[in-house]
Structure 1
Amino acid sequence: MIRQYELVERVRAYDPNVDEKLLDRAYVFSMRAHGAQKRASGDPYFLHPLEVAGILTDMRLDDATIVTGLLHDTLEDTVATYEEVESLFGVEVAQLVDGVTKLSKLELSSEDAKQAENFRKFVLAMSKDIRVLLVKLADRLHNMRTLHFIKNVDKRRRIALETVEIYAPLAERIGMQAMKTELEDLAFLYLNPDARESIVARLNFLTEKAGNIQGRVTHELEARLKQAGLEAEVFGRQKQPYSIWRKMQRDNVSFEQLSDVMAFRVIVEDEDACYRALGAAHSDWRVVPGRFKDYISNPKPNNYRSLHTTVLGPERQRIEIQIRTRDMHAIATYGVAAHWRYKQDVQKLDGSQFGWLRHMIEMLENAESPEEFLEHTKIDLYSDQVFCFTPKGDLITLPHGATPIDFAYMVHTDVGHTCVGAKVNGTMVPLSTELTNGDQVEIVRSKAQTPSPSWEGIVASGRARAAIRRFLRSQGRDEYFELGQKLVERAFIRAGYNLQDQTLEPASRALGHKSVDDLLIEVGRGNVTVRQVLEAEFPGEKNRRERRRMAGDPLPGDGPQAIPVSGANPGVAMQLGTCCHPVPGDRIVGVVTPGKGVVVHTIDCESLGTATEDPDAWLNLAWEADAARHGYHLSSIEVRSQNEPGALGKISTLIGKNHGNITNLKLTERTMKAYTMLIDLEVQDVKHLTEIIAALRTLTVVDTVERVRS
């Protein structure tokens, strides 16, 4: 256990102006507050905040942060109050302790709204003072070091999972690589012990087989650098098991295929020496193509700077070399904590300095609920990163798998909303194109463009997904309201009532909605049926309807007119069925589907056979007169063709000459004489589709062409 005077001396070693009385008061206050409380290990609970404070002293943090470490559990687990902490230790410490307390009971379960709300509050506290995150990371690190004392296996796994999904990525975002690595490896021990044991065994085997290869490579690398006139400190290390395992999973490679199990760091005096050292390494050893990264000219968002290269080094071993200055090494090791370590503008260092944190706040504002915010945050934090550039050379950081739509939203929300196309490295590409490191991306915009619901399946970043969902909710609310109003009005006419004579307030109250508008929106979404509205507005309607049915009487009122459908993008509240791909000119019917509004099908769509039998859910629809002018519509055809050279080219050329656009093609059957393919193509209407089918049937290489209905 760290003694009271030892803690003070630890801080005094890097801060001669330490407030000894403040630390003493916090030490005694925490010990008395926790009293006889015990940890799962059986040790006095006070040892935990004391160890957290010790970890914070290793980061060389300021007095207020060390005191916060000592007090971080007092508001949550003892009778101590915020007012008491504020009176004894000041407003700054009280706010820090309160900020950490917001997250003290976080359990990362998307099913638990309270814990998602806790995380939301924590992000807000972190955005005001990044030290809240530093204390929480130190708290989690000590908890992970003592996790083996918890007997419940499921609880250990849950804690390990939230560590690897949230805390380790947060440590990386603020540049604390050493803490991130330790958190991941400790979590790996409980998440996948067999995989970790296997990787450790392989690393031990390599060490035994190669002997002291780290020492030999280090010695030779130092000698080569000295010959180049460079004074450098060189040391080697093995990658951590979790880092190796995740790379194997991500790249789908075996352990033997990894090229950077062993890495060497070269510490030199200045930036110029970094590039000279790189030249020395490249001139002596063969470079592995595609493995050079310059994070000095293009630092990572967490301010990490270094040169990375992989070479075929001594003894024909692939080795990764990282070259950096001492200041760069301090930032790489301690991250944001280095600002306190070297007294760099610590008074100005709050959450506003970190772009990723600003993006989190934006996601928080866009999210409909704390659970949705937590979902978006986990997507962004846990993903590997891709670095791309704007045409002006600005660096944009994106998650692995990001597309131009993600890029557009990372530039600005309005850029994302109006994105219609993208140029990657000067070439137009589909919006679904996956971006890679170093891509230069130019976004093509149109004021007439709005986000499509299909974009949610394309984007990889939480920020883009949150912005798209918020826009669709806003747009969808109006559309669902209008659709709900039409559905209720038509139902009232069929039942012999006039909607204008009713307020719908009784139905709204009876069905548990705050307002009539909310009720109509839920009707439009398909979550409330028009029959429920009728029966709630008119309590005797259910019996009246049943009497009519038994008597065989028709419903009063005229048959309702068809609801018009606009075209290629009818909106959020009305969606074209992906099973039959209706196009203007088709006879169509609508089915009210819970959560989706109205799904439009062709009248002969096979999936209608399994649709609801509720008559109120079926709608008479008709295309607007100018629906074909609204753009191209997706349809599918099945082509059976002879298997001969040039057949596919003739088919695609003829479709293009007839102004059709192939969006997808899939071979479903192939023999020596023929093959069958499914072709998705964009057409204006049924007439246009029929013309293309007729033209294809004239080709001598084509046996049959049919439209696919499901």
Structure 2
Amino acid sequence: MEALARLDQTLSAYLSPEQSQNVKRAFFYAEQAHFGQTRRSGDPYVTHPLAVACILAEMHMDPQSIMAGLLHDVIEDTGISKTALAEQFGDTVAELVDGVSKLTQIEFNSLAEKQAENFQKMALAMARDIRVILVKLADRLHNMRTLGVLNPAKSRRIAKETLEIYAPIAMRLGMNTVRMEFEDLGFKALHPMRYERIMAARAKARGHRKELVENIRSQIEAALHREGHSATVTGREKHLYSIYQKMKEKRKSFAEIMDIYAFRIIVDSVDTCYRVLGCVHSIYKPVPGEFTDYIAMPKANGYQSLHTVLRGMHGVPIEIQIRTREMEDMANNGIAAHWLYKSDDKATNVSQARARKWVQGLLEMQQVAGNSLEFIESVKIDLFPDEIYIFTPKGKILELPRGATPVDFAYAVHTGVGNRCVACRINNRLAPLSEPLQSGQTVEIITAAGARPNPAWFNYAITAKARTNIRHFLKQQKREDSVALGERLLDRVLTTHDSSIAKLKGPTLDAFLTEHHYQTLEDLLVDVAQGERLPSITAQQLLGKTQDENSTESKEAIAIRGTEGFMVTYAKCCHPLPGDPIAGYLSSEKGMVVHRENCKNLGEFRETPERLVALRWHNEIEGDYIAALKIEVENRRGVIAVIATRINSMDINIEKIATGDKDHLFALVDLELQVQSRVHLARVMKRLRNIDGVRKVTRVKN
């Protein structure tokens, strides 16, 4: 009852009596629903939802959110349904409670899958009403505060999940106070001894630093007073997890981390922020390159402040943050500071718009993610603490995480731009797509109609949106390529029996698909292309024939055009080129693998002739193919440079160049380059043989 009285007192400060009464009614409903249930600590279960409601009330949340906090476990842990809650407290409260409730009726293969599915469900609810995540954060905060009663293994698991997911979400929503408490409590649960030692060291350092901190603070206050500025100057103390992370990442001792003195200056207006900045720069020397203006360009979570680093007495570094009171409130409480349902001012709309934009991004990722585990990995990637600001050619500013590349920028502009991206210009110069971007650069993306994402982009794309869309496109493209190849392979065998897929469509095909558990014909064709089902056996089954009846096999070779996509790969052992006699092997991992007909590796596959496929090159070939050469040269300076220059003059890409065995007279050069055909390669080899110092040029067969 003492906790309820505290809640009532907090609510009466900003809610009407009628609203407070509705919240009390929700409490008594929750108390009755949880009657007889206890927590691990032995306390009545209702103490938990009451504590969650108190946390939400301290944020000055609206009555529906606080009622949802009181009722958030009712659907999950009692026999009360969502419909019953809606009848009692309205649809809004019922939707909020349902959004926070875990999925309890489904069996999962693993704990990770269960957690991922629950988070995915909550993300969808957040898209409808962002208050869902605020109730969930309050719920998780109280659970973290009472973590000590759980067994160590469960305690560590919950702490790890909080540090990986919920602390970054709190930061994304600008709720710095909640984020810092999450981090310190998570750190304490995961590394209790480290936590105790750093806490003791901080307390000890506080005593040594007290005089110097007070000295610096009084100097700043005196200078501001002389200039006529009304400001509050406070010393900032780093929280324990932040100290630990910096020690670990920067490999610095505790003393080196605590050498930095941090202060916050709170003023009344934006104009005063910039005036105060000039004032503190006149007291101490600013460190070049250490000034950041988050007022002109706010962080993705709405955070605004001026950051500068100064060199104080005896070279002591001093970090200064300058902001208004509204910015301070926003920095600590994020979207909860300006709740949409309490006010319609500009700050509210900006803050809410940023939060909703992030949630909308989650929704887009969820729609293209393959499964819940893939989705939650994308969310983890997306929760970056640092931003850079990149300009489009038209002057629009886009926020990206530090380390982002032009590929990330292209997908941030639009998914279609990312999918068709082929090159970029950074500050009007052509640059590779893998180059990390710096704040303030202008980036222009060059697109082409027929372009598509490259699997190599995964090596340097870091944003969740880019990685999710690349993965989705490649999966989709691989499926389309598989369907096309599977159709060609199956039709080729069916032609031998005077049939085709088109002729089989109808009850016979439907019965076959049902019998073999395929939902569509496309699913069957994918399996054929990927080597999971052999075309000859599948054709016999479709026609109702036994293997003995299949006396003839199709002799017609499949034409390879070079545009088949992901399901046709070219063997690296023999590097087949247009013009070479070729054969194919159906691999269960790579689909159709093309070899030269005389490749010795292909001989090993003749034990499984049903997987061998007759192939030929199409009359119209597209694309470049890799050829491998071995060049014997005189061992003298600059000969490799001459070879590279000669190849470049023929407008040919070098894939790989390396020197092999050498003695004082001769050396061997291994070379891989892109050519269009066997004839093209012959012309290249002829040009290389004419180089002075080149003794012999041969094509590598295996």
* Distance (whole Å) between structure 2 residues aligned to residue 605 and residue 34 of structure 1: 73
Contact 1:107–1:162, Cα closer than 8 Å, also in 2: no
Q: Which moved more, 1:329-338 or 1:60-69?
A: 60-69
CA deviation after TM superposition for structure 1 residue 492, in Å: 4.1
Q: TM-score, normalized by length of structure 2?
A: 0.87
Aligned to 1:551: none
Q: Give the secondary-structure state (helix, strand or coil) at the position aligned to 2:674.
A: strand
Aligned to 1:548: none
Residues 129-152 of structure 1: CA deviation (Å, up to 9, x unaligned): 111110100111111121221115
Q: Give the secondary-structure state (helix, strand or coil) at the position aligned to 2:136.
A: helix
Q: Which moved more, 1:373-382 or 1:129-138?
A: 373-382
* Distance (whole Å) between structure 1 residues aligned to residue 237 and residue 468 of structure 2: 39
* Distance (whole Å) between structure 2 residues aligned to residue 66 and residue 496 of structure 1: 72
Q: CA 1:245 to 1:281, structure 2 compared with 1: closer, same or farther past 3 Å?
A: same
* Distance (whole Å) between structure 2 residues aligned to residue 681 and residue 254 of structure 1: 50
Contact 2:180–2:239, Cα closer than 8 Å, also in 1: yes
Look up the equivalent residue of 1:175 and give its one-letter code: G
Q: CA 1:64 to 1:297, structure 2 compared with 1: closer, same or farther past 3 Å?
A: same
Q: CA 1:613 to 1:672, structure 2 compared with 1: closer, same or farther past 3 Å?
A: same
Structural mapping, 1:529-544, within 5 Å: 529-530=534-535, 533-534=538-539, 536-537=541-542, 541=546, 544=548
Residues 285-305 of structure 1: CA deviation (Å, up to 9, x unaligned): 333343322111111121111
* Distance (whole Å) between structure 1 residues aligned to residue 223 and residue 63 of structure 2: 44
Q: Does 1:514 align with 2:534?
A: no
* Distance (whole Å) between structure 1 residues aligned to residue 519 and residue 215 of structure 2: 74
Aligned to 2:169: 170
* Distance (whole Å) between structure 2 residues aligned to residue 623 and residue 661 of structure 1: 23
Contact 1:363–1:376, Cα closer than 8 Å, also in 2: yes
* Distance (whole Å) between structure 1 residues aligned to residue 99 and residue 654 of structure 2: 55
Q: CA 1:670 to 1:533, structure 2 compared with 1: closer, same or farther past 3 Å?
A: same
CA deviation after TM superposition for structure 1 residue 637, in Å: 5.3
Aligned to 1:266: 265
Contact 1:268–1:326, Cα closer than 8 Å, also in 2: yes
* Distance (whole Å) between structure 1 residues aligned to residue 555 and residue 277 of structure 2: 77
Q: Does 1:292 align with 2:291?
A: yes
Identity rate, percent: 39
Aligned to 2:60: 60
Contact 1:60–1:341, Cα closer than 8 Å, also in 2: no
* Distance (whole Å) between structure 2 residues aligned to residue 676 and residue 218 of structure 1: 70
Contact 2:493–2:553, Cα closer than 8 Å, also in 1: no
Look up the equivalent residue of 2:166 and give its one-letter code: Y
Q: Does 1:85 align with 2:90?
A: no
CA deviation after TM superposition for structure 1 residue 539, in Å: 6.7
* Distance (whole Å) between structure 1 residues aligned to residue 689 and residue 243 of structure 2: 56
* Distance (whole Å) between structure 2 residues aligned to residue 168 and residue 671 of structure 1: 61
* Distance (whole Å) between structure 2 residues aligned to residue 239 and residue 641 of structure 1: 63
Contact 1:238–1:261, Cα closer than 8 Å, also in 2: no
Q: Which moved more, 1:174-183 or 1:210-219?
A: 210-219
Q: Does 1:599 align with 2:593?
A: yes
Q: Give the secondary-structure state (helix, strand or coil) at the position aligned to 1:443.
A: strand
Q: CA 1:253 to 1:355, structure 2 compared with 1: closer, same or farther past 3 Å?
A: farther
Q: CA 1:662 to 1:84, structure 2 compared with 1: closer, same or farther past 3 Å?
A: same
Q: Give the secondary-structure state (helix, strand or coil) at the position aligned to 1:564.
A: strand
Q: CA 1:488 to 1:299, structure 2 compared with 1: closer, same or farther past 3 Å?
A: same
Contact 1:174–1:302, Cα closer than 8 Å, also in 2: yes
Q: Give the secondary-structure state (helix, strand or coil) at the position aligned to 2:241.
A: helix
Look up the equivalent residue of 1:594 and give its one-letter code: S
Structural mapping, 1:100-115, within 5 Å: 100-102=100-102, 113-115=113-115
Look up the equivalent residue of 1:560 and give its one-letter code: K
* Distance (whole Å) between structure 2 residues aligned to residue 363 and residue 479 of structure 1: 24
Q: Give the secondary-structure state (helix, strand or coil) at the position aligned to 2:394.
A: coil
Look up the equivalent residue of 2:332 and give its one-letter code: T
* Distance (whole Å) between structure 2 residues aligned to residue 611 and residue 490 of structure 1: 21
Q: Give the secondary-structure state (helix, strand or coil) at the position aligned to 1:234.
A: strand
Q: Which moved more, 1:657-666 or 1:119-128?
A: 657-666
Look up the equivalent residue of 1:138 and give its one-letter code: A
- Structure 2, unaligned runs of 5 or more: none
Aligned to 1:306: 305
Contact 2:130–2:356, Cα closer than 8 Å, also in 1: no
Look up the equivalent residue of 1:39 and give its one-letter code: R
Q: Does 1:562 align with 2:557?
A: yes
Q: Which moved more, 1:524-533 or 1:205-214?
A: 205-214
CA deviation after TM superposition for structure 1 residue 601, in Å: 4.2
Q: Does 1:275 align with 2:263?
A: no
Q: TM-score, normalized by length of structure 1?
A: 0.86
Structural mapping, 1:22-171, within 5 Å: 22-102=22-102, 113-153=113-153, 155-171=154-170
Contact 1:662–1:680, Cα closer than 8 Å, also in 2: yes
Residues 102-124 of structure 1: CA deviation (Å, up to 9, x unaligned): 57999999875554333222112
Structural mapping, 1:210-289, within 5 Å: 210=209, 212-247=211-246, 262-289=261-288
Structural mapping, 1:590-629, within 5 Å: 590-594=584-588, 596-602=590-596, 614-627=608-621
Contact 1:214–1:237, Cα closer than 8 Å, also in 2: no
- Structure 1, unaligned runs of 5 or more: 546-554
* Distance (whole Å) between structure 2 residues aligned to residue 107 and residue 288 of structure 1: 57
Contact 1:68–1:93, Cα closer than 8 Å, also in 2: yes
Contact 1:165–1:382, Cα closer than 8 Å, also in 2: no
Q: Give the secondary-structure state (helix, strand or coil) at the position aligned to 1:479.
A: helix
Look up the equivalent residue of 1:621 and give its one-letter code: L
